[in-house]
Amino acid sequence: MTDFIKIENLVFDYIKNEDGHTIRAIDDVSFTVERGSFTAVIGQNGSGKSTLAKNINGLLMPTSGKIYVDGLDTSDEANIWDIRQKVAMVFQNPDNQIVSSIVEDDVAFGPENLGIDPTEIRTRVDEALVGVEMYEHRKKAPHLLSGGQKQRIAIAGAVAMEPECIVFDEPTAMLDPKGRKEVLEVIRKLNAKGITVLLITHFMEEAAQADKIAVMDDGVLKMVGTPDEIFLRAEELKALSLGVPPAVDLSMKLRERGIEVPEGILDIDEMVEYLCR
Amino acid sequence: MAIRDITLGQYYPGSSWIHKLDPRVKIMATILYIVALFVVDDFIGFAIAAAGLASVIIISKVPLSYILRGLKPVFLIISFTLIINMFMIKGEVLVSFWIFEITREGLRTAIFMAIRLILLIIGSSLLTLTTKPISLTDGIEALLSPFKKIGLPAHDLAMMMTIALRFIPTLMEETDKIMKAQQARGADFESGNLMSRAKALIPILVPLFISAFRIAHDLAMAMEARCYGCDIKRTRMNGMKFAGRDVAASILYVLFLAAIILQRVLM
């Protein structure tokens, strides 16, 4: 697989107040996201993971370092709209990213901005809404829907732009467990269709479903690896107050007691299946 | 709180003939109707105007009770106008008590003013009741676009209106949340006189403004992420089309206006 997003020595400073005092949100981070992959970035609040997400599609500009999206440099003004079309974004608060008071009009907002032909927009909107299972709600007002439904509309809005990659900035943080499950299912489905997914989260269970996990702490990239590799370093994760998913925790405890549990069991269902065999 | 009951400016979903009309036609019709209400100056004229409005209401299939609910918040203004006009206009005295006098001219002006206001509010709320907010702003944008030449940002104005309409329920929820949070900590919004109640609103407004700015910031990011403001000319999924029914409606409407003007000239 080829690299779709390449982050090289990214540094980002926030200006705290008028006298120019700065806070370093991201400190010398380098990593890559492969085309078609599902990558999770996990970290505590204030670890810089959301700032990282906003740097990727040029909503924020690096203080130093470079980000390349499909070979395009984000710090070059001329590339910015191409990059935003390639990398769509879904944000944390479902209420604050829906522009229109009718579901289908909101999904059409992105393609309309891109100057797509109206009949083509219609097809894209319908397909995107079917994809997130919100087609029957297309004429409704977003404020009458649940958080999970609103978030799926926001995802449909991103999908309708036909991006190659979608960055999810803590999309489930404000949802109830049911909404979280729905949204995560949609994310996995999109990834299966070939869309590169970058999921920013602070839920280890969600990160466990990715191909690759990047752990951030205090603006620094602490670990990168497959979920199996990352969860082997449970002690280090605990030191970053991140903990491992319950199933991984259980298998470690079982191993301590001398019960053979293979590595790679990441969720409760797999664990149940293994133990009952 | 009664803020949730306000029907003024809300859309009533439907698929009537009126709902389907081109928003440009409806906006122009509403503006002309308001002008016509100020041309009219006797009962027959008002009767024609009211009959026109009534037929539109019937065709639109919006329940009358729903429309009348929209009058509630402006009831105070109507009664105030009624009373002021009734007592302040000099003329032939009908009734007098203490320092007040009700004159024939005063009564006439007061009643006409009240009818005018009621028709005006119903007429304009019918526009928003039968037009999707998004088509309404599209219509306004289209009607304002000739002024783009003199530098009027028609599109930005329309987008601002769309967003304002979209965020009314969000901000209401936010207000509700803030009020509940403060009531939970012992704030009292329901007792006391008008002054103390107004003062109690300040601690609501400050956090409400802060959260409105936060929402605006988030939304701006989300819009930029979806390529709003890029150099490509925007397209619309549901473009406006001036259809046969719009021509028919326009002709009928011109006849209606002609009737009002004729009546005024002849009387």
- Residue for token pair 């690896």: A225
Q: Judging by beta carbons within 10 Å of its beta carbon (0-12, 13-18, 19+), is residue A14 exposed, middle or buried? A: middle
Give residue A268's pLDDT band: very low, low, confident or very high (50, 70, 90). Answer: confident
Pick the closest to residue A56 from A124, A39, A206, A242 (CA basis). A39
pLDDT in tens, A92-135: 998 899 988 889 989 999 999 998 999 999 999 999 999 999 99
**Least confident window among A20-24, A79-83, B37-41, B75-79:** A20-24
A74 interfaces chain B, CB cutoff of 8 Å: no
Higher pLDDT, B21 or A252: B21
Q: Quick check: A101 and B134 CB within 8 A?
A: yes
CA A17 to centroid of chain Cα atoms = 30
What number of C-beta contacts closer than 8 Å exist between A and B? Answer: 108
Whether residue B196 lies within 8 A of chain A, CB to CB, comes out as no
Tell me the pLDDT band of B7, cut-offs 50, 70 and 90: low
The domains of chain B are located at: 1-131+235-267, 155-234
Cβ–Cβ contact B165 with A under 8 A: yes
* Chain B nearest C-alpha distance from A29 (Å): 22
Percent of chain B with pLDDT over 70: 97
Answer whether B13 touches A (CB < 8 Å).
yes
Task: Look at residue B6 in the predicted model and tell me its pLDDT.
Answer: 52
Contact A121 B234 (CB under 8 A): no
Contact status of A54 with chain B (Cβ, < 8 Å): yes
Task: Say which of B134, B170, B226 has its CB closest to residue A102.
Answer: B134
Q: Interior CA angle at B212 toward B199 and B173, to 5°?
A: 75
A61 vs B: CB within 8 A: no
ipTM of this predicted complex?
0.85
| pLDDT of res. A55 | 92
Of B133, B224, B235, which is closest to A115 when you measure between CB atoms?
Answer: B235
**What is the C-alpha separation between A107 and A125, in angstroms, rounded?**
6
Which amino acid does the sequence have at A196?
T
What are the residue ranges spanned by the domains of chain A? 3-234, 245-277
The model's pLDDT over A146-202, given as tens digits with 9 standing for 90+, comes to: 999 999 999 999 999 999 999 999 999 888 888 898 899 999 999 999 999 999 998
| CB proximity A241 to B under 8 Å | no
Chain B residues whose CB is inside 8 A of the A109 CB are 223, 226, 228
Please give the Cα distance from B164 to A31 (Å, whole number). 40
Q: Does B236 touch chain A (CB under 8 A)?
A: yes
pLDDT of B2: 40
| B70-125 confidence digits (pLDDT tens) | 788 788 888 888 888 888 777 777 777 777 777 888 888 888 889 999 999 999 88
- Section B10-30 average pLDDT: 87
Q: Mean pLDDT over all residues of chain A?
A: 89
Q: Is the pLDDT assigned to residue B26 strictly greater than 60? A: yes
What is the mean predicted confidence (pLDDT) over A24-33? 91
User: Given this model, what pLDDT does residue A124 score?
Assistant: 94
Nearest to B227 among A81, A98, A139 (CB): A81
* Domain A3-234, classified CATH 3.40.50.1000, yes or no: no
Query: Which residue, among A197, A183, A191, A270, has the nearest Cα to A33 in the 3D structure?
Result: A197
- Full DSSP string of A96-130: GG--SSSHHHHHHHHHHHTT--HHHHHHHHHHHHH
User: Are the C-beta atoms of A182 and A153 separated by less than 8 Å?
Assistant: no
Residue with tokens 């309404």: B136
Grade residue B9 by pLDDT with cuts at 50, 70 and 90: low
Residue among B132, B226, B232 with most chain A CBs within 10 A, to mutate = B226
Q: Which residues does chain B have within 8 Å of residue A120's beta carbon, measured at their own beta carbons? A: none
Residue B212: Cβ-neighbour burial (10 angstroms; 0-12, 13-18, 19+): middle
Question: Higher confidence at residue B86 or residue A72?
Answer: A72
Q: Of the candidates A95, A108, A142, which has its C-beta nearest B237's C-beta?
A: A108
Nearest to B225 among A88, A114, A117 (CB): A88
Shortest CA distance from B166: residue in chain A = A101
Span B122-137, average pLDDT: 86
The answer to whether residue B140 neighbours chain A at the CB level (below 8 Å) is: no
With contacts defined as CB-CB under 8 Å, which chain B residues touch A155? none
- Alpha-carbon distance B192 to nearest alpha carbon in chain A (angstroms): 34
Is residue B164 less than 8 Å (CB to CB) from chain A? no
Burial of A18 (0-12, 13-18, 19+ CB in 10 A): exposed
Check residue A36 and give its pLDDT.
92
Of the pLDDT bands very low, low, confident and very high (cuts 50, 70, 90), residue B1 is very low
A128 touches chain B (CB under 8 A): no
Exposure string over B227-242, b if 16+ CB within 10 A, otherwise e? bbebeeebbebbebee
Of A91, A115, A139, the CB nearest to B222: A91
Q: What residues 181-210 of chain A have any CB closer than 8 A to a CB of chain B?
A: none
At A239, is the pLDDT very low, low, confident or very high (cuts 50, 70, 90)? confident
Q: Which of A10, A67, A14, A37 is nearest to A221 (CA)?
A: A10
Confidence of residue A1 (pLDDT cuts 50, 70, 90): low
Q: Mean pLDDT throughout B208-221?
A: 92
The reply to whether residue A143 touches residue B13, judged by beta carbons under 8 angstroms, is: no
B162 contacts A161? CB cut-off 8 A: no
**DSSP assignment of chain B, as one string?**
--GGG--TT------SHHHHS-HHHHHHHHHHHHHHHHH--SHHHHHHHHHHHHHHHHHHT--HHHHHHTTGGGHHHHHHHHHHHHHH--SSEEEEETTEEEEHHHHHHHHHHHHHHHHHHHHHHHHHHHS-HHHHHHHHHHHHGGGGGGT--HHHHHHHHHHHHHHHHHHHHHHHHHHHHHHHTT---SSS-HHHHHHHHHHHHHHHHHHHHHHHHHHHHHHHHTTTT-SSPP--SS-----HHHHHHHHHHHHHHHHHHHHHHH-
Nearest CA in chain B to A53: B225
Phi and psi of B114, rounded to 5°? -65, -45
Of B165, B221, B234, the CB nearest to A113: B234
Flag if B225 and A122 touch (Cβ within 8 Å).
no
Picking from B169, B133, B121, B117, the residue whose alpha carbon sits closest to that of residue B19 is B133
User: Residue with structure tokens 């107040």?
Assistant: A17
**Interchain pair B221, A54: CB under 8 A:** yes
- On chain B, the residues whose CB falls within 8 A of the CB of A154 are 222
What residues pair up with B102 in beta bridges, in sequence order? Answer: B95
- The reply to whether residue A100 touches residue B237, judged by beta carbons under 8 angstroms, is no
